[in-house]
């Protein structure tokens, strides 16, 4: 009998550098993705919203997040760089003066998307990146029904949550090495009605998924990069808690999913690491659901008033 050596098929990002835009604490998907990328061998840089930058960096410096930083294989997550990033602004010149002069912004020379892209080149050279993750969303009127949402609130949601990804791909595409991967995060409200998830955020997520497909074509042809999207189930991050009923969303999804359990941020991180790796080299323009199968259901099994 012929014997074959044992082989392990693993997600391997050794020698790769990743940038995760939208990490300001240890509770969100961005942090979980950063951890999984690091566990796969990548060096990880993050972009943090300027008003949260000081708090986040102090927490790290004081060791307040030691447990969250532990990696599965031993050691701890160490960010190669932490950049101040406000993805609502493409360039510093387009940023309103009152923002530039705000005390939480003025200590950062250039927190725009273009500014951070230029800083990457200054720090690491002409082609410094292999993976860019967009983990950014904001709806200033997310708690308002669509019928009560202002034009400014609606366009603000699209700008912060959808166009920011377009701008990232525009400016970081040329910085990607061969086989580069872009990834963004969406939610089922893009295609189903989620009462209470308002302020234009459902439209922003729909735009984000549409843009993923178009960018996959354009960035694939121009930069040779892949562009994908993860549609994650509800998760109680600090940002999601602003909706006001995230607990009910999580409980409803758990009761009515094919796998009747809540998702965990690590599962989203694992899917992101896979999509960033050579194992997913043939996958682009795709929305991957990480939601215990909830998206496949057409009828509630348990709406809360019956037993499963």
Neighbours of 15 (CB within 10 A): 10
Annotation says 89 is catalytic: no
**Helical residues (DSSP H) of 79-163, grouped into ranges:** 97-100, 113-124, 151-158
Annotation says 197 is catalytic: yes
Give the strands of the sheet with 81-84, arranged side by side. Answer: 81-84, 43-48, 17-21, 129-134, 176-186, 226-232, 287-290
Q: How many CA atoms lie within 13 A of 52 on its CB side?
A: 16
| CA distances, 238 to each of 30, 158, 273 (Å) | 12, 20, 23
Q: Any long-range contacts for 167-172 (C-beta under 8 Å, 24+ apart)? A: 167/87, 167/90, 167/113, 168/21, 168/87, 168/113, 168/132, 168/134, 169/132, 169/215, 169/219, 169/225, 169/227, 171/90, 171/113, 171/114, 171/117, 172/19, 172/117, 172/120, 172/129, 172/132
Q: 3-state class of 290 per DSSP?
A: strand
Please tell me which residue in 53, 105, 197, 252 is annotated as part of the active site. 197
Please tell me which residue in 53, 83, 154, 187 is annotated as part of the active site. 187
Burial of 81 (0-12, 13-18, 19+ CB in 10 A): middle
Residues known to be catalytic: 187, 197
């Amino acid at each position: 009998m012929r014997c074959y050596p044992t082989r392990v098929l693993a997600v391997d990002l050794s020698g790769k550098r990743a940038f995760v835009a939208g990490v300001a604490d240890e509770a969100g998907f961005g942090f979980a993705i950063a951890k999984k990328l690091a566990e796969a061998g990548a060096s990880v840089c993050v972009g943090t919203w300027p008003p949260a930058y000081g708090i986040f960096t102090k927490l790290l410096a004081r060791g307040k997040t030691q447990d969250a930083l532990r990696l599965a294989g031993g050691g701890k997550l160490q960010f190669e760089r932490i950049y101040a990033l406000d993805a609502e602004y493409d360039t510093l010149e387009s940023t309103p003066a009152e923002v530039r002069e705000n005390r939480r912004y003025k200590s950062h020379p250039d927190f725009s998307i273009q500014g951070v892209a230029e800083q990457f080149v200054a720090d690491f050279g002409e082609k410094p990146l292999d993976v860019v993750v967009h983990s950014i969303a904001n709806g200033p009127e997310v708690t308002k029904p669509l019928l009560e949402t202002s034009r400014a609130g609606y366009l603000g949601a699209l700008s912060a949550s959808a166009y920011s990804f377009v701008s990232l791909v525009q400016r970081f595409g040329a910085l990607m090495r061969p086989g580069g991967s872009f990834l963004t995060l969406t939610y089922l409200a893009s295609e189903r009605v989620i009462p209470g998830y308002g302020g234009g955020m459902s439209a922003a997520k729909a735009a984000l998924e549409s843009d993923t497909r178009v960018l996959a074509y354009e960035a694939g042809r121009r930069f040779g990069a892949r562009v994908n999207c993860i549609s994650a189930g509800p998760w109680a991050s600090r940002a999601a808690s602003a909706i006001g009923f995230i607990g009910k969303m999580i409980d409803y999804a758990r009761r009515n999913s094919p796998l009747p359990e809540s998702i965990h941020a690590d599962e989203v991180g694992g899917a992101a690491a896979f999509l960033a790796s050579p194992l997913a080299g043939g996958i682009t323009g795709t929305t991957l659901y990480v939601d215990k199968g909830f998206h496949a259901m057409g009828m509630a099994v348990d709406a809360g008033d019956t037993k499963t």
